[in-house]
Amino acid sequence: MHFANYVEERGRPLSLGRGEHLFRQGDTSGSVYVLREGLLKAYYLSDDGRENIKSFIQPGELIASLAAVYTGEDCSFGVVCLEPSLIVELDFDALLAETRRDLVLAAEMLEHLLDFSMKKERREREFLTDSAETRYRVLMGRSPELFDQVTQKDIARYLGITPVALSRIRKRSAES
Amino acid sequence: MHFANYVEERGRPLSLGRGEHLFRQGDTSGSVYVLREGLLKAYYLSDDGRENIKSFIQPGELIASLAAVYTGEDCSFGVVCLEPSLIVELDFDALLAETRRDLVLAAEMLEHLLDFSMKKERREREFLTDSAETRYRVLMGRSPELFDQVTQKDIARYLGITPVALSRIRKRSAES
DNA sequence: CATTGGCGTTAACCCGGGTTAATGCGTCCT
DNA sequence: AGGACGCATTAACCCGGGTTAACGCCAATG
């Protein structure tokens, strides 16, 4: 069975309004979510209340706390809705069990994971090798839509800097 | 078939001495490598010659440039041997083809990829939320062996800072 | 044995980003 | 309309890490 069909058959549709949470950091969760429409934000909350953004989730993408669904830990991050969203919820254990019976599904899950891994590798690389300013320019080039969809504050927290620092970077690049 | 058996049957053994490369940044590569024994270092080289370390590979771990083997791009990083190593080389396309026929192998590949993804997520998170000093302390707690195996320079480049900065951090934590 | 070269440490100086705070601007609420 | 709130900008100050360079040490090499 193809993943799309599996989602169709076994998924539970969900609809979230701006500001509502799909799950929160510290929750337990056994679900994987597919975003159909809207926009989500995955973020870490540190002890002192600071927010760092792990990723923005666009329609068509999957989101789950791997540590939570796969090893049973608490969610290491939360997911909140930035724009009214349509989401489909899947039970991870059932999905994993199905991949053990279905070659087509297993192959597609492998593809998804490979894509996911490559994205994570790219982001890891950017943090390791690029300055904040470079990361900003790369992001602008790759996902200009983001700048219309989310606040500059969230962009900054995604880049790993403060809103103040991002404002300075923008000023610098506007001048040059 | 189990992955271990597949490696046994289809893998080509390789042996590398200190300083030899498994592959270099910019190479094309269609292989996945399993480290049997020894120690490898995966690193990015920036235009100005600066080296940033993506990861150290310990016995039992897999290494490949996903972008290279999966999408056919050039390797975005290189892998060099830090200690005399025994390695087994696998053809990625053949492995992927086999997972499309073999449920057991597919399931095991999924597990490997899930583990890999979780590692990448953790490192991404550390860069996003922790200071260099915290990253150093976490690494010391998690992998103390590393400090005997590799130079302080390489540890620093893995943490995303310069050797000078790491030396200062160590001095600070020794004083306190 | 002397030389070379890489590593770790330390110091001095610089710079980018963090912090705090003030200001101005929209948006939402009543 | 009037407040209240959050966001973006800007300034002033601080601090951690980058850069450069000097020094001592050790291992490899002639």
Based on the fold, state whether residues A108 and A137 are members of the same structural domain. no
A150 pLDDT more than 70: yes
Based on the fold, state whether residues A24 and A110 are members of the same structural domain. yes
In-domain check, residue B139: yes
Q: What per-residue confidence (pLDDT) applies to A175? A: 67
Based on the fold, state whether residues A173 and A97 are members of the same structural domain. no
Which of chain A's residues 32-91 bind strand C, using a 7 Å CB cutoff? none
In-domain check, residue A61: yes
* Position A161 confidence tier, pLDDT thresholds 50, 70, 90: very high
* Position A176 confidence tier, pLDDT thresholds 50, 70, 90: low
Based on the fold, state whether residues A138 and A55 are members of the same structural domain. no
Distances in whole angstroms, Cα of residue A79 to Cα of each of A49, A53, A70, A85: 16, 10, 17, 12
Based on the fold, state whether residues B86 and B29 are members of the same structural domain. yes
The CATH number of whichever domain residue B80 belongs to comes to: 2.60.120.10
Cross-strand pairs, B3: none
Phi, psi of A44 (to 5 degrees): -95, 145
Q: Which domain holds residue B16?
A: 3-119
Based on the fold, state whether residues B83 and B163 are members of the same structural domain. no
SS3 B9: helix
Of residues A173 and B30, more confidently modeled: B30
Based on the fold, state whether residues A141 and A105 are members of the same structural domain. no
Based on the fold, state whether residues A29 and A81 are members of the same structural domain. yes
Q: What per-residue confidence (pLDDT) applies to B173? A: 87
Integer distance in angstroms from the first to the last C-alpha of chain B?
Answer: 54
B175 pLDDT more than 80: no
Token pair of B45 as six digits: 């080289």
Fill in the amino acid letter for A127: F
Q: What per-residue confidence (pLDDT) applies to B174? A: 78
Residues in chain A closer than 8 A to B53 (CB atoms): 128
A76 touches B125 (CB < 8 A): yes
Tally of structural domains, chain B:
2
In-domain check, residue B125: no
In-domain check, residue A124: no
Q: Which of A66, A86, A116 is the last residue before a domain boundary? A: A116
Q: What per-residue confidence (pLDDT) applies to B48? A: 84
Please write the tens of the pLDDT for every residue from A12-61. 999 999 999 999 999 999 999 999 999 999 999 998 889 999 999 999 99
Based on the fold, state whether residues A95 and A164 are members of the same structural domain. no
In-domain check, residue B124: no
Which of chain B's residues 147-176 bind strand C, using a 7 Å CB cutoff? 151-153, 163-164, 166-168, 170-171
Q: Report, in ranges, which bases of strand D sit under 7 Å from a protein C-beta.
A: 7-12, 16-21
* Position A65 confidence tier, pLDDT thresholds 50, 70, 90: very high
Based on the fold, state whether residues B74 and B149 are members of the same structural domain. no
**CA nearest to A66, candidates B114, B127, B34:** B114
Q: To the nearest whole percent, how much of chain A has pLDDT over 90? A: 95
Q: What per-residue confidence (pLDDT) applies to B95? A: 97
Based on the fold, state whether residues B110 and B54 are members of the same structural domain. yes
Q: Which residue has the tokens 């969610």?
A: A75
Per the rule left: phi > 0, alpha: psi between -120 and 50, beta: everything else, A170 is alpha
Pick from B1, B129, B135 the residue to mutate for testing the A interface (most A CBs within 10 Å). Answer: B129
In-domain check, residue A172: yes
SS3 B109: helix
B57 pLDDT more than 80: yes
Based on the fold, state whether residues B105 and B136 are members of the same structural domain. no
In-domain check, residue B137: yes
In angstroms, rounded to a whole number, what is the distance separating the alpha carbons of residues A57 and A40? 5
